[in-house]
Structure 1
Amino acid sequence: MNFEGVHTPLVTPFNADGEINHDLLGKHAADLAGRVAGLGIGGTTGEYYALSFDERVRTFNTVAEAAGGKTVLTAGINATTTKEVIRLGQEAKRAGLSALLVAAPYYAQPTQGELLAHLLKVDDTLDMPIMLYNFPARTGTEISDGILETLLERPNFIAMKESTGDISHLHHLATRFGDRLVLSCGMDDQALEFFVWGTRSWVGGASNFLPEAHTALFDACVKRRDFASGRELMAKLLPVLELLERSGKFIQYVRYGCELAGLPVGAARAPLGSLSEEERNAFAQIVKPLMRNDQ
């Protein structure tokens, strides 16, 4: 288990009444299973924070049934308490998922000592490969060097999705931990920079609707080390990725991207709203040319 390649954090499709469309979720997972290196269930893109415990568990089972054995499946199990994280992890393990994505519990803002105890407890209880998720803008708590030093003494802590957006922090992680930690790009508009610094993993929300464009960039930079081609490919993707990362409407744009790709996944759950007609039209203009090549 090395988390290499493009991993798609699956969007959660909703019906018009706001309930999860499990048939569409399974279909989407099965379709992507042969097109990317792995799938994530219960990540930010899937709006895990807006789902009940039972809804999250059912999404694990839906994707496992649709795509299990066809690709790597990673369960996002973040929650506000250690008990809830472990319960979710146990359900993911029961469903047969391959690995876990674990962030700092959001809103609670534990100290670094408390966060370390939390992560060790999760590992002690679940004993599964883990990708950490460093996203302090959402969780309120960073995963520090001190925590990494301790966790990397254990075999299950393999990777970290780095989503601070701070290029200097990417440099720091790559030079200090690069030989012990699989770094995964978690800031999509910086993917090229991550690859230059040796990253071999990318968890990209827009791969829900542009999987081939993502894998083409990954293959050029990581597999062939052809950064001239990588720059050309990134230049085409960059307007889409910058809008997702910088607009404050990441989930809404991913959902509309899926609609443009022929996969209507419904609106985000409130309090998130929908895109304006102007936003939809502008996004379609930059996405549709990429979709013609994303087959």
Structure 2
Amino acid sequence: MNAPLFKGVITALITPLRDGNVDEDAFARLLERQIAAGVHGVVPMGTTGESATLHLDEHQRVVELAVKVAAGRIRVIAGAGSSATDKAIDLVRYAKTVGADGALVVTPYYNRPSQAGLQAHFEAIAEAVQLPVLLYNVPGRTGVDLANETVAALAAQPNIVGIKDATGDLGRIGWMRANITEGFALISGDDASWLGYQAAGGHGVISVTSNVAPEGMVALYDAVEAGDLETARLWQDRLIGLHRALFLDSSPSPAKYALAKLGLCAEEVRLPLVPTRADVRPLLDRALAEAGVA
């Protein structure tokens, strides 16, 4: 049996900011908290890390810092997507240079390539840099959907080792399990539907919620892995309000609000994002209480 390279609870890390700059001390504290909670990996510089608005030198520094702080204790999968293939290659190459375990590469956004273009994009990256790549399909943000058949074709590439599926479509995993070689990591990118995805044969989640409630997410994963769906459902019931509340405003503003309440970082985000709306804050407070996060 071929085990996937990446699995478990993998946190899509926020990037703490203070006075317009990356707060490296807060970042290190947040990452240490994740490791102590038992998560299996982290993604610095994904969507939740505000990769779209950080400068290249900031992006590279955050990836480098994540690798340094993790120090081999958990997997570090660097966000490395771009709408330009050559830029994505540069980001993946940098991730390899500083010692990341893999790269999370989103489908090109805005230019909306065809399926042939998407396949060529990912193949060019996989051929250019010898680093494990997770595909990232999030059509709600990018405007393009990576078709199941394209994923299957890309899975033949040795460096393409799995997918983060943020479509929320639970029908996809069954098709992929039936049509893609065992060992290809099937990772949910949707916290609210993750339990269903995991029960259908998924290998883990790249999670926003685990920024705030890492212990609960790890407990849910452990319950599913142990075949204890009753306990897993109890954890899902406890966390579902938080899953939803963290997306009641533009992410990662709600996650930063929650982490600021916990005293772990500032709420600051970079324009065009703004801090969480006043009407969302009480809903987040209630969701935090229901999840038992203190």
- TM-score, with normalisation over the residues of structure 1? 0.92
Contact 2:83 2:109 in 1 (8 A): yes
Aligned residue pairs total 290
Contact 1:10 1:39 in 2 (8 A): yes
Runs (5+) with no aligned partner, structure 1: none
Residue 267 of structure 2 corresponds to which residue in structure 1? 266
What is the root-mean-square deviation in Å for CA atoms of aligned residues?
Answer: 1.7
Residue 237 of structure 2 corresponds to which residue in structure 1? 235
The residue correspondences of 1:1-295 to structure 2 (distance < 5 A) are 2-15=5-18, 17-34=19-36, 35-177=38-180, 179=182, 181-221=184-224, 223-245=225-247, 247-292=248-293
Deviation by residue 1:210-238 (Cα, 9 ceiling, x = unmatched): 000000000101x2111111111101111
How big is the shift at 1:253?
A: 1.2
User: For the residues of structure 2 that align with 1:117 and 1:27, how far apart are their CA atoms?
Assistant: 39
How big is the shift at 1:117?
A: 1.1
Contact 2:253 2:267 in 1 (8 A): no
Contact 2:249 2:277 in 1 (8 A): no
How big is the shift at 1:147?
A: 1.9
User: For the residues of structure 2 that align with 1:264 and 1:280, how far apart are their CA atoms?
Assistant: 16
User: For the residues of structure 1 that align with 2:167 and 2:179, how far apart are their CA atoms?
Assistant: 17
* 1:31 to 1:233, Cα distance in 2 relative to 1, 3 A: closer
User: For the residues of structure 1 that align with 2:286 and 2:185, how far apart are their CA atoms?
Assistant: 35
How big is the shift at 1:248?
A: 4.3
User: For the residues of structure 2 that align with 1:61 and 1:137, how far apart are their CA atoms?
Assistant: 29
Identity of aligned residues (%): 28
Q: Secondary structure at the match of 2:205?
A: strand
Q: Greater CA deviation, 92-101 or 262-271?
A: 262-271
How big is the shift at 1:180?
A: 5.0
User: For the residues of structure 2 that align with 1:199 and 1:237, how far apart are their CA atoms?
Assistant: 19
* 1:98 to 1:49, Cα distance in 2 relative to 1, 3 A: same
Contact 1:152 1:180 in 2 (8 A): no
How big is the shift at 1:170?
A: 3.7
Q: Secondary structure at the match of 1:93?
A: helix
Q: Secondary structure at the match of 1:284?
A: helix
User: For the residues of structure 1 that align with 2:208 and 2:121, how far apart are their CA atoms?
Assistant: 27
User: For the residues of structure 1 that align with 2:148 and 2:193, how far apart are their CA atoms?
Assistant: 22
User: For the residues of structure 2 that align with 1:166 and 1:289, how far apart are their CA atoms?
Assistant: 27
User: For the residues of structure 2 that align with 1:114 and 1:257, how far apart are their CA atoms?
Assistant: 39
Q: Secondary structure at the match of 2:39?
A: coil
How big is the shift at 1:97?
A: 0.6
Q: Secondary structure at the match of 2:48?
A: coil
Contact 1:68 1:96 in 2 (8 A): no
Contact 2:148 2:172 in 1 (8 A): no
